[in-house]
A and B are shown apart, each in its own frame.
Chain A
């Protein structure tokens, strides 16, 4: 899974419809192997995943994936149906950026002396709403949360001051209009509770086995 954005050629390869950024929200059972089952739906079609986040939901046993891809609506719709068809998937939605509230978090590591010496840097950080997470003698780590354009432009702004390291999280998104499914999930969980996740509990007992 790369977090890099692909260079999309100007002329869309699919005749009908334009490519756009879509966020897929996939509600699943909390099962091992499901990440792979979902990830290969994209790689099989050679679709780059721009960002992927896994998270718990408001309901205990249900898990939630937020996946961002750049595709035509037609492709996204078909993908969503294929994903929803998986046995352990409860529901899959896709939304354009306008239909969701979304955020990404970024961390920036900058040499502390630069920050301390140059008032400009401080002003810059304030302008972007960045917050210092760690301040050490040698470096300072800042955090911002926002849309990609914001985190991206802060990288550009910090580059001249010796940005040492940058990392951005996957997108987390909330669908503006999601009340209906929330209620469904709640009632599911009440009438039909999810199964417990079973992990391998033996991995540290390798020495005790000899096998043919």
Chain B
């Protein structure tokens, strides 16, 4: 017996090797199939960067210009590729610069793993140089976070981090590693992926009777209406969802994050929900008899006034996150579970229907919207260019095959309203947090995540200046992102509200900009500025045909508004067409 024990121990010993915590971090990334890291070095993460020097061929590190750029790039990477984005940052200011991106990834359920350096464990709590309590700062904006003070924890903690970030409802995870743990040598027994944590249920158990109840409601419905969010994309359930819609002939509208889960031209796709969504879906939300919500969370920008939201309808909610059920809207039937599994169960139980006259209602309202606002936006007769016509022209050239990454503001709403998407994961935008400055770094990530795609960042003149430094990243790492700046010389969305609700008191919304083309040129990025409609199409074509990165600035009308609009405090059916 004894000899056996000893032999075992010897064998175990022989299988371990002594490595540093830093090397363990990089080995973990390789084991998790990470190929891209977005980061920025500094004192407390130097041991990891030192180890990275020898891993250059296995791990591609992109040096950003600001840590916020790193995390937005990781988000764009994750959203476009479906993989987990990875970020390195140093302690103190490096880590605090991640905060906006973490909050953004949290609210938009994006899988990101951030690794931050931290001061030596001995110095925690001493106000050491660049010491910030990052774990506590990021607690409300991470799905999980953890501080490592001993190198031997690194493999298992990172395995947990990757598992948590990407499973269930995805989200950002932060692992803070003290410098001593990065330097420390320990006996490494290899990396084991995590597939289970006893206190964590990524997927609720599906209750068949609820699926049956939901099917019954759908089969009895005369005016069923499907609304869907990013859950379809995150659950990789695009096919299952389309089959569900097509069997029941169910009209379906998307949230801003659900967009592109089905092609925008799908005959059952009736448009976008919410404040600047389409007319039909908003109005008919308050007319349908059964509202079927899939993988969405009834954000207030979608629901408008809750006490006047779909009160006439029975509500079915399919979601993977039990905390979302009944959070904002009380459901009649809730179907907890991964929609990749629940949708086929539901499809099997629903009847084939045509819902012809109900679908016709959407078409009628679409026509009304076309006549009152869409036509004027897409085919303007005035001298000034509209954002809508820029997007329309872009559609003609991309045919819906580009990935579009938008910033936040009017151009975001216009792009989401009018851009065509043929492929899932091709609309990337900051939905829940509305983070200006998102587009440029996120587009960098999206391009690296899907190098064969055309990736176009669309930004306003305001938001583009919020992370404009990332032009440096594009220059250094040669990233072929197309940048389309729609310049209205205003912080347009805020100006619109000031015009409509604050008597045109334009308090600090006019913004001046540098010569963007010159700025790009300084970064070795070719570009052009268009002020005239006649030059628009050619300029867009040139942008798309250019080999690498390119910047196109289009001057658009200064005081155009985005319509339709559900004014704050109003019901979705009180949506204004002008």
Please give me the residue from chain A that is nearest to B140 by CB atom: A40
Cβ contact within 8 Å between B139 and A88: no
Partner of A87, one of B124, B164, B180, B196: B164
On whether the beta carbons of B123 and A209 are closer than 8 Å, the reply is yes
Contact A28 B199 (CB under 8 A): yes
**Which 5 pairs of residues, A with B, have the shortest CB-CB distance?**
A81-B323, A202-B121, A202-B122, A192-B198, A87-B144
A29 to B198 alpha-carbon distance, docked (Å): 9
Q: Are A206 and B144 within 8 A (Cβ)?
A: no
Q: Using Cβ atoms and an 8 Å threshold, which residues of chain A touch B180? A: 202, 209
Tell whether, in the assembled complex, residue A206 and residue B164 are in contact, meaning their CB atoms are under 8 Å apart. no
Cβ 8 A contact of A85, one of B123, B179, B323: B323
For B43, give its contact among A85, A198, A200, A211 (CB under 8 Å).
Answer: A211
Question: Is B199 in contact with A85, judged by CB distance below 8 angstroms?
Answer: no
Residues of A within 8 A of B119 (CB): 211
For A167-181 the 0/1 string (1 means CB < 8 A from B) is 000000000000000
Number of residues on chain A facing chain B (CB within 8 A): 31
Given the interface pairs A200-B149, A202-B120, A211-B128, the reply to whether A87 lies near B199 with Cβ below 8 Å is yes
Q: Give the residue name and chain of the A residue nearest to B163 (CB).
A: A87
Looking at chain A's contact residues, the main secondary structure is mixed
Q: Given that A87-B143, A87-B144, A87-B199 are contacting pairs, would A198 and B153 also be in contact in the complex, using a CB cutoff of 8 Å?
A: yes
Among residues of B, the one whose C-beta sits closest to the C-beta of A192 is: B198
Q: Is A188 interfacial (CB-CB < 8 Å)?
A: yes
Please indicate the chain B residues that have their CB under 8 angstroms from the CB of A44 in the complex.
140
Residue on B nearest A78 in the bound complex, by CB: B327
The reply to whether the CB of A7 lies closer than 8 angstroms to some CB of chain B is no
Measured CB to CB, the closest approach of chain B to A130, in angstroms, equals 40
11 of the cross-chain contacts (CB-CB < 8 Å) are: A28-B199, A33-B146, A36-B136, A44-B140, A84-B323, A85-B323, A90-B198, A203-B121, A203-B125, A209-B122, A211-B44
A194 contacts partner chain B, Cβ-Cβ < 8 Å: yes
A153 in the interface (beta carbon within 8 A) = no
Kindly identify which residue among A40, A89, A201 contacts B199, using a CB–CB cutoff of 8 Å. Answer: A89
A5 at the interface (CB under 8 A from B): no
Q: Are B199 and A90 in contact (CB under 8 A)?
A: yes
Q: Are A211 and B120 in contact (CB under 8 A)?
A: yes
> How many whole Å from B68's CB to the nearest CB in chain A?
23
The distance from the CB of A140 to the nearest CB of chain B, in whole angstroms, is 39
- Of the candidates A28, A85, A87, A211, the one whose C-beta lies within 8 Å of that of B322 is A85
* From A28, A84, A87, contact of B197 by CB (8 A): A87
Per-position contact with A for B343-358: 1 when CB-CB < 8 Å, else 0?
0000000000000000
Check if B323 sits within 8 Å of A78, measured CB to CB: yes
Chain A minimum-CB-distance residue to B42 = A212
CA distance in complex: A202, B151 (Å): 13
B34 at the interface (CB under 8 A from A): no
Count residues of B near A (Cβ-Cβ below 8 Å): 38
Contacts of A90 in B (CB 8 A): 198-199
User: Min CB distance, B326 to chain A, in Å?
Assistant: 8
Task: Contact check, A206 vs B126: say whether CB atoms are below 8 A apart.
Answer: yes
**Cα(A168)–Cα(B428), bound, Å:** 53
**Given A87-B164, A87-B199, A211-B43, are A37 and B139 neighbors across the interface (CB < 8 Å)?**
yes
Least CB separation from B135: chain A residue? A33
In the assembled complex, the Cα of A203 lies from the Cα of B326 at a distance in Å of: 46
Task: Report the bound CA distance from A89 to B327 in whole Å.
Answer: 20
Asked if residues B149 and A202 are in contact (CB atoms below 8 Å), the reply is yes
Instruction: For the complex formed, measure the closest distance between the CB of A24 and the CB atoms of chain B, giving whole angstroms.
Output: 15
A82 on the B face (CB < 8 A): yes
Select from chain A the residue with minimum beta-carbon distance to B145: A33
When the two chains form their complex, are residues B323 and A33 in contact, meaning their CB atoms are under 8 A apart?
no
Does A205 count as interface, using CB distance less than 8 angstroms? yes
Closest to A212 in B: B43
* Complex: A28 Cα to B198 Cα, angstroms: 11
- Expressed in whole angstroms, the minimum distance between the Cβ of B414 and any Cβ of chain A is 33
Does B200 sit within 8 A of A, measured CB to CB?
A: yes
Q: Which of B121, B128, B144, B323 contacts A82, CB < 8 Å?
A: B323
Chain A residues with CB below 8 A from B199, complex form: 28-29, 87-90
B179, A211: Cβ atoms closer than 8 Å: yes
Which residues of chain B have C-beta atoms less than 8 A from A200's C-beta? 121, 124, 149
Answer whether residue A208 sits at the interface, using C-beta atoms and an 8 A cutoff.
Answer: yes
> Roughly how many angstroms separate A201 CA and B139 CA in the complex, as a whole number?
23
Q: Does B574 contact A (CB under 8 A)?
A: no
> B336 to chain A: closest CB distance in Å?
11
Chain B residues whose C-beta falls within 8 Å of the C-beta of A89 in the assembled complex: 199
A18-32, CB < 8 A from B = 28-29, 32
